[in-house]
């Protein structure tokens, strides 16, 4: 283990990982996720930065982020807020503009994605030279914890219908824990037209269309610790509309 960490610090020093954290009302979760990210990146020795993209959270998330920046340093915590909630896709576009890493990691800030899996993402990418590596809840020892039956049925159903209609060659289309080569992510967000819940699915579909390689790492997904889920009826309707649009246009 020590030799691998040494190699990460020396032989692979040119790689840098920019973590994009879109936030909206995450004041309780943000300090924990940043601490975990700093811990696991510190242990692995990989160079990193965390870009917080807050969309005008009324709960004071940005103020918490400012305090974290003072603790960890402005070189590690970059604050790139926006005035209001403008959607996940545009948050990534906004974040990429400020990312100095050659790899970009996207993940949720609500502790549903544990940073301990990032090392596996990086190893998987290096093993196969993948253009993107996606966390999957539906292969290997991946799983979902803390969801009620309704949420599980929605997620499983969304993935099943997507597999039947689009055959994307990946097992988890709606997850949002991924590692991208920066130039690949830039190209994909240019191609994508979806917003909300369907955005992550379109990213995988477009990646396959453009001939990008996709690797998968089994992850444990845990329902948010603090705050309320942002998945509601409108998001489900939008997903179905987006799925049918993709089916008709791909």
Q: What is the pLDDT along the chain (250 residues), one digit of tens a residue?
A: 444 443 444 445 689 999 999 999 999 999 999 999 999 999 999 999 999 999 999 999 999 999 999 999 999 999 999 988 887 788 888 999 999 999 999 999 999 999 999 999 999 999 999 999 999 988 887 777 766 777 667 777 777 776 676 666 778 877 889 999 999 999 998 888 776 667 888 888 889 889 999 999 999 888 755 545 545 556 566 666 666 666 666 6
Instruction: Tell me the C-alpha to C-alpha distance, in Å, between residue 40 and each of 5, 98, 200, 233, 236.
Output: 11, 22, 25, 36, 34
- Contact predicate 224/111, CB 8 Å: yes
The pLDDT value recorded for residue 119 is: 94
Q: Which helix (H) or strand (E) holds 23?
A: strand 16-23
Residue 184 in contact with residue 212, Cβ under 8 Å? yes
Give the residue among 204, 196, 203, 142 at the shortest CA–CA distance from 170.
Answer: 204
Output the pLDDT for position 180.
98
**16-23: strand order across its sheet:** 77-79, 47-54, 16-23, 103-106, 178-181, 132-136, 214-218
Residue 229 is predicted with a pLDDT of: 52
Strands 214-218 and 103-106: unpaired
Q: What is the pLDDT of residue 167?
A: 66
pLDDT of residue 74: 96
Contact 91, 181 (CB under 8 A): no
Q: Can you give the residue ranges of every domain in the chain?
A: 16-249
Contact between 18 and 51 under an 8 Å Cβ cutoff? The reply is yes
Full-prediction pTM beyond 0.85? no
**What architecture is domain 16-249?**
Alpha-Beta Complex (3.90)
- State the Cα–Cα distance between residues 35 and 13, nearest whole angstrom: 22
In this predicted structure, what is the pLDDT of residue 247? 60
């Amino acid at each position: 283990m020590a030799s691998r960490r040494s190699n990460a610090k020396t032989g692979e020093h040119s790689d840098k990982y920019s973590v994009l954290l879109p936030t909206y009302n995450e004041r309780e979760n943000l300090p924990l996720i940043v601490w975990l990210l700093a811990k696991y990146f510190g242990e692995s020795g990989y160079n990193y930065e965390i870009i917080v993209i807050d969309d005008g959270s009324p709960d004071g998330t940005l103020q918490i982020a400012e305090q974290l920046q003072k603790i960890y340093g402005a070189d590690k915590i970059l604050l790139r807020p926006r005035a209001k909630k403008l959607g996940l896709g545009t948050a990534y576009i906004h974040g990429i503009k400020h990312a100095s890493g050659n790899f970009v990691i996207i993940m949720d800030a609500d502790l549903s994605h544990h940073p301990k899996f990032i090392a596996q993402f990086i190893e998987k990418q290096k093993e196969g030279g993948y253009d993107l590596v996606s966390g999957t809840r539906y292969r290997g020892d991946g799983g979902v914890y803390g969801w009620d039956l309704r949420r599980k049925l929605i997620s499983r159903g969304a993935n099943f219908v997507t597999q039947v209609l689009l055959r994307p060659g990946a097992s988890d289309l709606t997850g949002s824990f991924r590692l991208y080569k920066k130039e690949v992510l830039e190209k994909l967000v240019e191609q994508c037209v979806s917003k909300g819940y369907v955005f992550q699915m379109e990213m995988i579909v477009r990646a396959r269309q453009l001939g990008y390689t996709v690797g998968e790492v089994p992850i444990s997904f845990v329902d948010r610790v603090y705050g309320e889920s942002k998945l509601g009826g409108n998001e489900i309707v939008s997903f179905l509309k987006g799925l049918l649009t993709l089916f008709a246009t791909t």
